[in-house]
Amino acid sequence: MDKLIIKGGEPLNGEVTISGAKNAALPILCASLLAETPLQLSSIAALKDIGTTLKLLEIMGVKVDRNADKVSLDASEVTSFEATYEMVKTMRASILVLGPLLARFGSARVSLPGGCAIGPRPVDLHIKGLQAMGAAIHITHGYIQASTLHLPNRRLQGARYYMDLVTVTGTENLMMAATLAEGTTVLENAAKEPEVVDLAECLNKMGAKIAGAGTDIITIEGVEKLNGTNHNVVCDRIEAGTYMVAAAMAGGEVTLKNVRADLLDAVIDKLREAGAEVTVNGETITVKSDGKLKAVNVRTAPHPAFPTDMQAQFMAMNCIAEGVSTVIETIFENRFMHVQELQRLGADITVDGHTALVKGVSHLDGATVMATDLRASASLVLAGLVARDETVIERIYHLDRGYELLEEKLAALGAKVKRAN
Ligand code: EPZ
């Protein structure tokens, strides 16, 4: 089991280049199933979840050609419409093949994703949306068995569908399914995340007719077929936010390159409120800090509000900030797994339901802690950067799912971090 060893107390200075967004790349890779000619992508980060998705698509018969951050996907000869439990249990985002398979081939057998550390994470809205488009769906033996072969022309039918909850991958799955449906689909209460917008931009370049992505009403006019295109995946706003918090906590001056400040308004506002100096200049953001921060209250909600994927990182920052703060998690049922690990480092946090009360302490002390999920792991790295002495983070395979070259990027900024097994 890989672990990270961090010697805390070093300021961070220099430049870091942000990679392509994991949560944009995952649906866009699955969108290749919709196309009759190759989809050429760039800014595809070297992440475990990306590798898992490419392996799943290859098993289905998609020809995948990868060279550094460039990936070409040719789905002209897909032979299998199945995503097995073995594949889905390692990555729940595999559910994103369901919509494209149904739309293009009229048939799909996808394992129900299990829950995960941060909550049960059902996919009932994905299923209800596809049923609204006419799909016949049966859940048997832990699998979603879906078909459109009973429908006119064996095609999904355009529909108006209101999503009870804002769901990012639910919106993405249904948007992809609707691109090849007969007629027009309207998704109401749609997710507005930048990754949904990036997927829509890629799909429109492939020949789809999608309007309203980025708002809560997305209209998709079905077309006969989609073709490949060239698409550069949007930068990873959560990776960027994580390095911005690292700089604010450790102190120093860090410039992020290949980043879009317009995707990070809520995070930038909160960092400024905490006392960090954040300067935006085109596609770069510079964070300057003396490491002395004020505690800030955080409440997660769908974009453009404060992102749940930045909650754990801000909790780590509040642990060593001056004052008392509340961190309220409204999206997931159990996204406080990092709390007990931060407490091992000396943090003063009290949890009551979806609210954590954080009292800033003068310092944290290094210890051995355990990563439990992707963003919780990131918060432990941030805490380790400022804790006294040495922090050892175990089970860092969680980190490898979402952060490309993390220890290399941090070490280049001056952090004393190394991987050990
Ligand atoms: C996406 O997950 C992201 N993953 C998550 O990022 C992110 O935390 C989340 O959106 C919220 O922004 C990817 O994009 C691959 P949801 P997703 O469906 O789509 C409930 C990371 O760290 N819900 O928006 O699975 C659900 O239980 C990961 O990169 C239903 O009840 O999240 C949750 O409480 C973690 N039924 C809420 O909605 C459904 O059918 C939001 O979930 C779907 C969702």
How many whole angstroms from 199 Cα to the centroid of ligand 1?
16
Give the tens place of pLDDT for each residue, 209-259: 999 999 999 999 999 999 999 999 999 999 999 999 999 999 999 999 999
Mean pLDDT of 176-194: 98
Q: How far apart are CA 267 and CA 280, in angstroms?
A: 13
Residues with CB under 6 A from ligand 1: 22-23, 26, 93, 119, 121-126, 165, 167-170, 308-309, 331-332, 374-375, 402
Statement: the pTM of the whole predicted model exceeds 0.95: yes
Q: Percent of the chain having pLDDT more than 70?
A: 99
Give the tens place of pLDDT for each residue, 351-388: 999 999 999 999 999 999 999 999 999 999 999 999 99
Say if residues 155 and 149 touch (Cβ distance below 8 Å).
no
Q: Residue 287's closest CA among 271, 298, 273?
A: 271
Q: How far apart are the first and last CA of the chain?
A: 6
Say if residues 276 and 254 touch (Cβ distance below 8 Å).
no
How many whole angstroms from 175 Cα to the centroid of ligand 1?
16
- Pocket-testing residue among 97, 167, 398, ligand 1, by greatest number of atoms within 8 A of Cβ: 167
Say if residues 246 and 403 touch (Cβ distance below 8 Å).
no
Q: Residue 238's closest CA among 265, 268, 264, 202?
A: 264
Q: Percent of the chain having pLDDT more than 90?
A: 94
Tokens of 210: 């999608």
| Catalytic residue status for 319 | no
How many whole angstroms from 17 Cα to the centroid of ligand 1?
26
- Pocket-testing residue among 331, 333, 338, 373, ligand 1, by greatest number of atoms within 8 A of Cβ: 331
Q: Among residues 30, 116, 202, 319, which one is catalytic?
A: 116
